Structure 1
Amino acid sequence: MARGSRSGGKLNTLAGSSVLITGGTGSLGKALIRELLDNHSVRRLVVFSRDELKQLEVRRMFDDDPRLRWFIGDIRDRKRLDRALHNVDYVVHAAALKQVDTAEYNPFEYVETNVRGSQNVIDACIDAGVKKVVALSTDKASSPINLYGATKLCADRMFISANHYAASYPTRFSVVRYGNVMGSRGSIVPIWKQLAAEGRSLPITDSRMTRFWITLPKAVDFVLDSFDMMTGGELYVPRIPSMRVVDLAEAIAPGAATHEIGIRPGEKLHEEMIALDDARRTLLMDTRYVVTPHLSGWGYTPPADAMQMPDGFSFQSHTNDQWLDVDQLRDLVTEEEMAGR
């Protein structure tokens, strides 16, 4: 398949290219590897991560596919990034420290990885002549109330602003933001299933809690589709449904007992992916929102077919206009389980 060809009716920007994924042995990284190898005809796929055991496990998972390259390294190490990015065309930046409570006890470690490490990725990509970079964000970066969210907000702004001083270079940067991914490592679903099988009560943080829902395959598609449409400076947010946590518990274990354990430090009752103050810069494009940059000195032009969101708009899980009921959640959980087998 030639570079820039179409796959499944979409422009396949990544075909024939060299792609690097930072943090590539996580749940999303593994799903990205599978999709890129199976459906995007990449020439070379570089996995950059810190854990040699995880790399060994993923190598075995993909039968040592000859298109895969493995780099042990930390995004805190600029020289190692320089080496790994040699002749790379596209980058997915997924590496981050992510545990909310751990961040409160180890704040500067999160700054070192999520902020300084992100700057290393930006600088190394520009110097290596990478074409496009998509950085992964989180709902916790919108109106952050914990240190993890604050570091991710910093990283988001750094990647968007990187387009300014990369203006005379070919490299362009965009960000994708979504909430918890169902089916990813650390998901509550398998924990609740195990507790229900043992006849134990399911712990629920707060019965009022709501969350956005996105499946792992949809998250992968959203990230990769962003390479096709980005020009640099966009913060993309998928237009996805919400769920009530109590409905998810009922879908997973019908009739199971539950008990509230209270909101943990730094946790929100409802998720937010686009803040109220960002409404004036938010556009709607079919199934995704585009938060445009505050400044666009590198020549960013908003998409012509996008619709401006009204003043007062925000994208929060409890005020969303799309919801999943218990039956729909049960079907999606079953679908995720079948896909993982």
Structure 2
Amino acid sequence: MELDNTSILITGGTGSLGKALVKHITQNYPSIRRLVIFSRDEQKQFQMAQEYPESKYPQIRFFIGDVRDKSRLVRAMKGVDYVIHAAAMKHVHIAEYNPDECVKTNIHGAQNVIDACLETEVRRVVALSTDKACAPINLYGATKLASDKLFVAANNIRGNNPIRFSVVRYGNVMGSNGSVIPFFINKRKEGVLPITDKNMTRFNISLQGGVEMVMHALFHAWGGEIFIPKIPSYRIMDVATAVAPECEHAVVGIRPGEKIHEEMITPSDSFYTYDLGKYYTILPALPSWNLEDFLSTFGGIKVDEGFAYNSGDNTEWETVTSLRKLIKEHVDSSFEI
């Protein structure tokens, strides 16, 4: 699938992944007709516009709007071919304290995106998920699970519309806004790093890895898949050592809604999960296309019954050395290894 002379809209386009997607698309698909940055933060749009001046990037449009506002979404999606839905409330503890706001954005906003896409000429939609949507214990994860369900089920209500909806689910994005590595880098000047739990682990993916997943889904999804990358885990204590080996550690306890280990596939998901090589995919129970055709096209292999994908039981791990290299490459180029 080529993107030449097509139009893409990114909700939450001023966020970490949104900006990485814009960079990737403008560099690799310079003939794109229009790239719409849809977000509600005026200041972030102003700052991003300085990086992408209209004189050099005439295809980029900045569109103030909130996914809670369906009519604004419909207006923004006029003439749009592809939508990447990255807008969300994502901080676990903030969602716990402001549950209704999280529901309005992450669930009602998701349905608004779906409805707006169905009412316009959008052809493909990729929604971003999170490992916290798998067996959720916090509100953020629960809202993203609901969002995933909405996007998968949207393929059932499209009628004769050829639109395809799919989902990408991945772990912590290294260096994204609010993530642990920039937080530790900022805290090391104080000489003490707050550690939630010394046994905590997380999946780790780079911004570029997240971008590649989104583009894979955009190009290859048949509709209804939840794509999951095969990525390494890290131990929080290894992150602390990699960032600031000289710092003391203060164990502060896990915050409301946090897990010690994250999951991306549960044993209950294993009945519908297939290994596609670089990615796993959880398929809908009743896909709108032929399963055997899908598996032969992508070389999909059914995982064993009871299979689970958990950051604490992962077979691939980042080390202190590899983390330092990744931090310098993806987070802070001035970081001393």
Q: TM-score per shorter chain, which class?
A: over 0.9
- Whether 1:26 and 2:19 are equivalent positions in the alignment is no
Identify if the C-alpha distance between structure 1 residues 24 and 169 changes in structure 2 by more than 3 Å, giving closer, same or farther: same
How far residue 160 of structure 1 moved from its aligned partner, in angstroms, is 0.3
Letter in 2 for 1:220: V
How far residue 14 of structure 1 moved from its aligned partner, in angstroms, is 2.5
What is residue 192 of structure 2 aligned with on the other side? Answer: 201
What is residue 79 of structure 1 aligned with on the other side? Answer: 71
Q: How does 1:117-132 map to 2 (within 5 A)?
A: 117-132=109-124
Aligned 8 A contact 2:295 2:301 in 1: no
What is residue 7 of structure 1 aligned with on the other side? Answer: none
Alignment partner of 1:35 out of 1, 6, 24: 24
CA–CA separation in structure 1 for the residues paired with 2:334 and 2:267: 37
- Whether 1:91 and 2:83 are equivalent positions in the alignment is yes
What is residue 286 of structure 1 aligned with on the other side? Answer: 277
Letter in 2 for 1:129: E
Q: Residue by residue, what CA displacement relative to the aligned partner does 1:220-246 show, whole Å, maximum 9, x if unpaired?
A: 111112111111110000100011110
Q: Residue by residue, what CA displacement relative to the aligned partner does 1:185-216 show, whole Å, maximum 9, x if unpaired?
A: 11222222233234x11111100000111011
Aligned 8 A contact 2:152 2:165 in 1: yes
What is residue 325 of structure 1 aligned with on the other side? Answer: 319
What is residue 312 of structure 1 aligned with on the other side? Answer: 306
CA–CA separation in structure 2 for the residues paired with 1:262 and 1:302: 45
Aligned 8 A contact 1:130 1:170 in 2: no
CA RMSD of aligned residues (A): 1.6
Aligned 8 A contact 2:174 2:331 in 1: no
Seq. identity, %: 49
What is residue 142 of structure 1 aligned with on the other side? Answer: 134
CA–CA separation in structure 1 for the residues paired with 2:64 and 2:128: 20
What is residue 330 of structure 2 aligned with on the other side? Answer: 336
Aligned 8 A contact 1:163 1:298 in 2: no
Q: Residue by residue, what CA displacement relative to the aligned partner does 1:238-279 show, whole Å, maximum 9, x if unpaired?
A: 100011110111111124221211011100000111111001
CA–CA separation in structure 2 for the residues paired with 1:81 and 1:59: 20
CA–CA separation in structure 1 for the residues paired with 2:187 and 2:160: 56
CA–CA separation in structure 2 for the residues paired with 1:314 and 1:340: 38
- Match of 1:29, SS state, is helix
How many residues in Structure 1 have an aligned counterpart in Structure 2? 329
Q: Residue by residue, what CA displacement relative to the aligned partner does 1:306-340 show, whole Å, maximum 9, x if unpaired?
A: 11110121111011111111111111111114669
Q: Residue by residue, what CA displacement relative to the aligned partner does 1:118-177 show, whole Å, maximum 9, x if unpaired?
A: 111101101112110000001111001111111111110000000001141021100000
**Which residues of structure 1 form unaligned runs of 5+?**
5-12
**Which residues of structure 2 form unaligned runs of 5+?**
none
- Per mean C-alpha deviation after superposition, the further-off stretch among 13-22 and 274-283 is 13-22
Q: How does 1:116-265 map to 2 (within 5 A)?
A: 116-198=108-190, 200-265=191-256
What is residue 69 of structure 1 aligned with on the other side? Answer: 61
CA–CA separation in structure 2 for the residues paired with 1:33 and 1:115: 25
How far residue 302 of structure 1 moved from its aligned partner, in angstroms, is 3.2
CA–CA separation in structure 2 for the residues paired with 1:311 and 1:236: 18
